[in-house]
Chain A
Amino acid sequence: MPSGEATHQQARRLTIGGMPSAPTALFFVALITVTLVVAGSWYTIATMGRALRSSQLADWLVTATSVLLAFASILVMLPMTRAFKQWMNVRRAVARNDAIAARVARSGACDQCWIAIGYTLAQFIIVVACQFLLANNQAVAKTFFFVPLMVGTFPLVLDAFWLNVEIFLIAEIFVLIWGLVVALAMFAPGAAGKPLRIIATAYVDVFRAIPAVLVIYLVGFGIPLTGVPIIRNLSLPAFVVIALTFTVGAYVAEIYRAGIQSIHWSQAAAARSLGLTHMQSLRFVILPQAVRHIIPPLLNAFIALQKDTALVTVVGVIDAFNQSMVIAANHYNLSAVTTVAVLFIVISIPQTRLVERMMQRDRARMRAGSI
């Protein structure tokens, strides 16, 4: 029936049409959340103030900090005031029957409510963390972050940390070279290269399977026992460097291998078709491109290596971790260990950022419309 179809067509309206209502429920949920968290924040700030006053900090400093924090904690009210204004706008627009204005205002009000809720949740997490530190008469804070002890033992820990830095820097250089050697062996061409390929693959399989701490232990205590000339006279940190090079070298060889394989075979074909040898095409065509792919995973391996330097503790080298454990035992407090954690964080984050920046610049240079 054609006429019936026509009526059906006309009867359909756009679903989004109609007058919206003010988001009252959402507004109140946001308001309650914000109020509760602000109250919790103030309570926490007050507790913190009391705790700080009881340590030897100046009174005015504590008051100033508390007031500042109290003000900062009510910043989440800002989106709520905006949400309230928009909420009023919705009601006004509805009153004068302006659907479009009401819709705009409603979406603004909802946005501001959600922003308030989002920031409040973040603030809530911070408050919970602070409460944990303050718990049990600030036992947590004192155990992990006892500032006087941290400051007092910092020179000692930092001094020991240089040994970690020395170990990982030297190991990183060795790992870069050793990993590449193993990776190239994994790609040794032809029938003549087969034994080399097998050995390289076996090495990678074996050393990726053994925990780093075991290798350090075996090399650090085992080699001196064997009494093999020359290497028995190496220092303990040198054994650690060797152990880490063998362990991390296996991972890095895999990273190199994946990087080389990620370069499309047509690149090798083009290089070989111009008369370049296997090694020349690796060196001038494949590796320079592979390096760009392997830098992020290589950085991961390096950060892991840097952290693994803390394992030298098992053979008795006095590195930052070992030093801090001695301090922790002496003072019955773990704050010096926290210092070590902070030191590792401080060296790790800039590397990540630096590499990111480098990669971006490289992409921008090679491609129009860089990603």
Chain B
Amino acid sequence: MPFIEIRDISKSYGALSVINCLSMSVEEHQVVCLIGPSGSGKSTLLRCMNGLESIDHGEILVDGDRITGPGVDLNSLRRDIGIVFQSYNLFPHMTVLDNVTLAPIRVLRQSKRTAEERGIELLKRFGLADKAKEYPDRMSGGQQQRVAIVRALAMDPMVLLLDEITSALDPELVSEVLDIVRELANEGMTMLLATHEMGFAREVSSKVCFLWGGSVYEEGPPEQIFGDPQRDRTRVFLSRIREAKRI
């Protein structure tokens, strides 16, 4: 049985159908990349998995447990499934360390000391120890996004969802963020990432899903999707990306 199983989910905003009978599965320690044109449902899928959006039909199972539908404690679900956003969404009125320790203290009921020790340790690991007392708005986008990842990691999540985390960054800052993701992948963190960094997706993922029109249009190992896509839309999408020199 796969670690994450998404069964036939649908989601629409009024008349606009965003996710349409989407099914996929993720094994533990796998890194799955979601690629596809904007509006194909990548972000919405991630937000549904974190309970930030509700789904209309279908269900999502994690480790055999249903995490969607009525009766699910979303607050405890979110302790185990972390998400990092495209626009970092750090709390601007708090220092970096306070950003990282807020949830461990308030949600996991850790003592301030334990949380801060762990927070400092994580910041050190990702080269941000000297920024602990800094405010987010005084840092570069790359640094802010690394802090956002650390903030999600401080909750010790079982799954990490990364929603186009490099899209808002200047090109020269992208690699410092991707290095962290690569490191997490090597450690065996289960991750789902929506991304436009095709080269990175090819290198880091165990599986690539091409989303189109709100469902998985084609999936497979990265060599196959990028090297020998089987279906038309995937080919068209990838050739456009190639024309734009983004691979």
Which residues from chain A sit less than 8 Å from chain B, CB to CB?
A: 266-267, 269-277, 280, 284-285, 288-289, 292, 365-368
Q: Residue B207 at the A interface, CB < 8 A?
A: no
Q: Are B103 and A275 in contact (CB under 8 A)?
A: yes
Q: Are B89 and A267 in contact (CB under 8 A)?
A: yes
Q: Which partner residue on chain A sits nearest B108 by CB separation? A: A275
A-B contact pairs, 29 of them (CB 8 A): A266-B87, A266-B89, A267-B89, A269-B85, A269-B89, A270-B89, A271-B91, A272-B52, A273-B50, A273-B85, A274-B82, A274-B107, A274-B152, A274-B155, A275-B75, A275-B76, A275-B155, A276-B102, A276-B103, A276-B106, A276-B107, A285-B102, A289-B92, A292-B93, A365-B135, A366-B92, A366-B135, A367-B135, A367-B138
Name the residue among A275, A285, A289, A292 with the largest chain B CB count within 10 angstroms.
A275
Q: Are A284 and B52 in contact (CB under 8 A)?
A: no
Q: Which partner residue on chain A sits nearest B80 by CB separation? A: A275
Q: Are B91 and A267 in contact (CB under 8 A)?
A: yes
* Residues of chain A contacted by B85 (CB below 8 angstroms): 266, 269-270, 273
Contacts A270-B85, A273-B78 known; A285 to B135 CB distance under 8 Å? no
Q: How large is the interface on B (under 10, 10 to 19, 20 to 34, 35 or more residues)?
A: 20 to 34
Q: Are A368 and B138 in contact (CB under 8 A)?
A: yes
**A-contact 0/1 string along B47-86, CB 8 Å cutoff:** 0001010000000000000000000001110110011010
Secondary structure at the A interface, as helix, strand, loop or mixed, is helix
* Residues of chain A contacted by B107 (CB below 8 angstroms): 274-276, 280
Q: Residue B196 at the A interface, CB < 8 A?
A: no
* Residues of chain A contacted by B135 (CB below 8 angstroms): 365-367
Min Cβ gap B20→A in Å is 23
- Cα distance, A46 to B171, chains bound together (Å): 74
Which 3 residue pairs are nearest across A and B when measured between Cβ atoms?
Answer: A270-B89, A274-B103, A275-B107
Q: Which partner residue on chain A sits nearest B79 by CB separation? A: A275
Q: Which partner residue on chain B sits nearest A288 by CB separation? A: B93
Given contacts A270-B85, A292-B93, 4 further A-B contacts (CB under 8 A): A266-B85, A267-B91, A270-B90, A289-B92
B122-141 residues at the A interface, CB under 8 angstroms: 135, 137-138
Contacts A277-B75, A366-B135 known; A269 to B102 CB distance under 8 Å? no
Q: Are A289 and B78 in contact (CB under 8 A)?
A: no
* Residues of chain B contacted by A276 (CB below 8 angstroms): 75, 102-103, 106-107
Q: Are A274 and B151 in contact (CB under 8 A)?
A: yes
- Cα distance, A263 to B24, chains bound together (Å): 35
* Residues of chain B contacted by A267 (CB below 8 angstroms): 89, 91
Contacts A266-B87, A366-B93 known; A273 to B137 CB distance under 8 Å? no
* Residues of chain B contacted by A284 (CB below 8 angstroms): 102, 106
Q: Which partner residue on chain A sits nearest B90 by CB separation? A: A270
Min Cβ gap A82→B in Å is 46
Partner of B52, one of A269, A292, A365, A367: A269
* Residues of chain B contacted by A277 (CB below 8 angstroms): 75
Which residues from chain B sit less than 8 Å from chain A, CB to CB?
A: 50, 52, 74-76, 78-79, 82-83, 85, 87, 89-93, 102-103, 106-107, 135, 137-138, 151-152, 155
* Residues of chain B contacted by A275 (CB below 8 angstroms): 75-76, 78-79, 103, 107, 155
* Residues of chain A contacted by B79 (CB below 8 angstroms): 275
* Residues of chain A contacted by B89 (CB below 8 angstroms): 266-267, 269-270
Q: Are B137 and A367 in contact (CB under 8 A)?
A: yes
* Residues of chain B contacted by A274 (CB below 8 angstroms): 78, 82, 102-103, 107, 151-152, 155
Min Cβ gap A284→B in Å is 6
- Cα distance, A187 to B27, chains bound together (Å): 40
Q: Are B102 and A366 in contact (CB under 8 A)?
A: no
Q: Are A289 and B151 in contact (CB under 8 A)?
A: no
* Residues of chain A contacted by B103 (CB below 8 angstroms): 274-276
- Cα distance, A273 to B82, chains bound together (Å): 7
* Residues of chain A contacted by B106 (CB below 8 angstroms): 276, 280, 284
- Cα distance, A236 to B26, chains bound together (Å): 70
Q: Are B93 and A289 in contact (CB under 8 A)?
A: yes
- Cα distance, A367 to B138, chains bound together (Å): 6
Min Cβ gap B67→A in Å is 13
Min Cβ gap B68→A in Å is 16
* Residues of chain A contacted by B50 (CB below 8 angstroms): 273
Q: Are B137 and A366 in contact (CB under 8 A)?
A: yes
* Residues of chain A contacted by B75 (CB below 8 angstroms): 275-277
Q: Which partner residue on chain A sits nearest B78 by CB separation? A: A275
Name the residue among A270, A276, A292 with the largest chain B CB count within 10 angstroms.
A270
- Cα distance, A271 to B91, chains bound together (Å): 9
Q: Which partner residue on chain B sits nearest A273 by CB separation? A: B83
Min Cβ gap A147→B in Å is 50
Q: Which partner residue on chain A sits nearest B104 by CB separation? A: A274
Q: Which partner residue on chain A sits nearest B81 by CB separation? A: A273
Q: Which partner residue on chain A sits nearest B103 by CB separation? A: A274
* Residues of chain B contacted by A365 (CB below 8 angstroms): 135
Partner of B91, one of A270, A367, A368: A270
* Residues of chain A contacted by B138 (CB below 8 angstroms): 366-368
Name the residue among B74, B92, B135 with the largest chain A CB count within 10 angstroms.
B92
- Cα distance, A269 to B43, chains bound together (Å): 13
Partner of A273, one of B52, B87, B91: B52
Min Cβ gap B100→A in Å is 10
Min Cβ gap A277→B in Å is 6
- Cα distance, A134 to B87, chains bound together (Å): 65
* Residues of chain A contacted by B87 (CB below 8 angstroms): 266
Q: Which partner residue on chain B sits nearest A266 by CB separation? A: B89
Min Cβ gap B130→A in Å is 16
Min Cβ gap A304→B in Å is 28
